[in-house]
Amino acid sequence: MGSINLPDAESTIRTANELLAGLLKRIPDGEVGDRFHWIAFQADRIGATPGIERVGDQPILLKGLDLRAVRIADGVDAADLELAPLGYADAALESWEVFSGLQEAGDIPDTLRFQVSLPTPAAVVGAFVAEEDRERFEPVYRDALYAELGRILAGIPHDKLAIQWDTAVEFAFIEAASGYADHFGGAYRPWFDDVWAGVVDRALEKAARVPEPVEVGYHLCYGDAGEEHFIEPTDTANLVRFAQAVVDGASRPIAWVHLPVPIARTDDAYYLPLESLTLPEETELYLGLVHREDLASGAAARIEVASRHVERFGVATECGCGRAPREQTAPLIAAHAEVASAW
């Protein structure tokens, strides 16, 4: 998980360590502050750039964030745009100070890594940039995000760091190419012709940007706005295809891959494609089958079915805990420990 509905990084780190003691390899900072709704704050960051305009006259507000799309102003060359800091490096370095301080004090184990979750450039561009500008704006945002990654890599010891690439909008591209384009309107149309080659090549490039011994992993997702997917996956086939392509094609080891499991899927059909997934020993598979609505009992039912199709996997939520009501955060995290202890 990456997002957790707690007030600050220290609360997140302490709560995760307390409730999941001995079961964790990595702890994130909970995506607190402006990151509370994943990439929603990026529209305001990009929109403040000279040469960028907001689409529409009326703000679309979410807890103080304006979700309106952005466009490149007429007559502006995309190569001349200079984006302000995106906020990811500042947040990561601030939270790392908290994390490392807790380790130095002996409050959390020294063996834990600090996990930083980053969106893919395609996610932000696909969600918040006007369709006609996506192709020429993607390199601008990509370079700005890699600069954020560079600051993170420079500021955190590599043997203490794990980078997670949050990969969600890519599955909207894949599903739209499979016949769901009308479902999404123009919001999630890719700007590259070969959708599978486009999303996999971009994923491999992101893996190569993370040097060893930093760990790198992929959170594969179908969205979590209002605790709902943008479309329910029919089964794990597209998730498995993507994960296999990344693991096979990456120039470095992939530490983990996470796949979502909708709450209603206790049928073999959803998990059947997992039988073809071949992961090396060093790559962990996590199934996001812990849900706040039915906690450990529901997770156990889904584990029983999943286990018929894949032997080795860990458990997680579908898409973090960031959108769950705060009072349900601790029980949801604790359910992971209950399931792991009983399994």
1 located within any domain: no
175 located within any domain: yes
CB 45 within 8 A of CB 22: no
3 located within any domain: no
CB 236 within 8 A of CB 309: no
Prediction pTM value = 0.95
In the chain, the amino acid numbered 42 is: Q
Q: Residues 173-229: pLDDT tens digits?
A: 998 766 654 554 556 788 999 999 999 999 999 999 999 999 999 999 987 666 666
Residue 292 has pLDDT above 70, yes or no: yes
3-state secondary structure of 305: helix
Question: Which residues have a Cβ under 8 Å from the Cβ of 146 and sit 6 or more positions away?
Answer: 209
- For the chain, the average pLDDT equals 93
170 located within any domain: yes
Question: Higher model confidence: residue 123 or residue 323?
Answer: 123
75 located within any domain: no
Q: How far apart are the first and last CA of the chain?
A: 19
Average pLDDT on 41-46 reads 97
31 located within any domain: yes
CATH of the domain at 276: 3.20.20.210
pLDDT at 325: 82
Please state the domain count of the chain. Answer: 1
The pairing of strands 314-317 and 26-27 is unpaired
Q: Which domain holds residue 294?
A: 9-38+82-342
DSSP state of 72: E
32 located within any domain: yes
Nearest CA to 256 among 307, 321, 292, 210?
210
3-state secondary structure of 311: coil
